[in-house]
Structure 1
Amino acid sequence: MRPLRHLILFAIVAWGFADVCGGYFQEVAAADKFYRVVDGKADVRTYNGYRRYHAGCNHCHGPDGVGSTFAPSLVDRPRDIEEFRRIVRDGQSSSGTSVMRAFADDPNFAPYIDDIYAYLQARAEGALGRGRPKR
């Protein structure tokens, strides 16, 4: 009887440990995500990123970040957050020619760069489809 109790106790402790660690690892994996989408519904930051993106970025980068004939997709090969911030703030040039203007002084975009990134990251990772996200 005693070995059975030890086995049951061990199983309960192992299950509890696995449950705690599983939750921890999910949180660590989610820590590098700027967005949160649950049951197809976007968090406030991601939804605001959608709104800000479609207020100005979509004119060049296409609806939902898919790109256009003159600006690249922002969801096919997403940049890391630091590079994204730098390009949006400082603009982008190619061979001395301005390709994308800087938005550092634009109050409609500069404070919301991370929100726009959250939206594009959710699109790139397939957490959000095309069109207006649910709130």
Structure 2
Amino acid sequence: MKHLVLLAVVTCGCALGFGGPLQEAPAADKVYKVIDGKADVRTYNGYRRYHAGCNHCHGPDGVGSTFASSLVARPLSIETFRRVVRNGQSSGDGSVMGGFADDPNVAPYIDDIYAYLQARADGALGRGRPQRMSP
């Protein structure tokens, strides 16, 4: 009887731990939430802000261009991303990205832009305008 109870507990634990809606919850280190291809408000706003100010150099959907590197192929940590966006950065090949610390269309939304780019890098969002979750 003990073995039967133990088997039931293990089976129930496995059923709760795998599959179902629990897999849709983002990992603790993820700043975005995407369920059924729909982005949360922050991530959707990040898409909008990215395409209003960043895609001119970093390409559509963060894939990079001849002017600037991909932001989804090798994502930065959020701390590094914030620093680079605020202060700018120059590279050894002479390319320079100016800082956006004083830009009211970018600075307040750095974390939203990061959420969008993280979702793109993880494959949670494809290219193009994401659908938005209902509020």
**Is the shorter-chain TM-score for this pair beyond 0.5, marking a shared fold?**
yes
1:115 paired residue among 112, 116, 127 = 112
Q: CA offsets per residue over residues 47-87 of structure 1, 9 Å max, x none?
A: 01000000100011111011111111111111111111110
Aligned to 1:71: 68
Other structure's SS at 1:46 match: helix
2:6 paired residue among 4, 10, 28 = 10
Compute the displacement of 1:113 (Å).
0.7
Aligned length: 130
Identity of aligned residues (%): 71
1:104 paired residue among 78, 101, 105 = 101
Query: Whose radius of gyration is greater, 1 or 2?
Result: 1
Please tell me whether residue 50 in structure 1 is matched to residue 50 in structure 2.
no
Richer in helix (by share): 1
Provide TM-score, normalisation by structure 1.
0.84
Over the aligned positions, Cα root-mean-square deviation in angstroms equals 2.5
Q: CA offsets per residue over residues 8-56 of structure 1, 9 Å max, x none?
A: 2111222344456559x96997011111111111111110100000010
Provide TM-score, normalisation by structure 2.
0.84
Structure 1 pair 29–118 and aligned structure 2 pair: CA distance change class (3 A)? closer
| AA partner of residue 33 (structure 1) | K
Other structure's SS at 1:31 match: coil
Q: For structure 1, which runs of at least 5 residues remain unmatched after alignment?
A: none
Other structure's SS at 2:54 match: helix
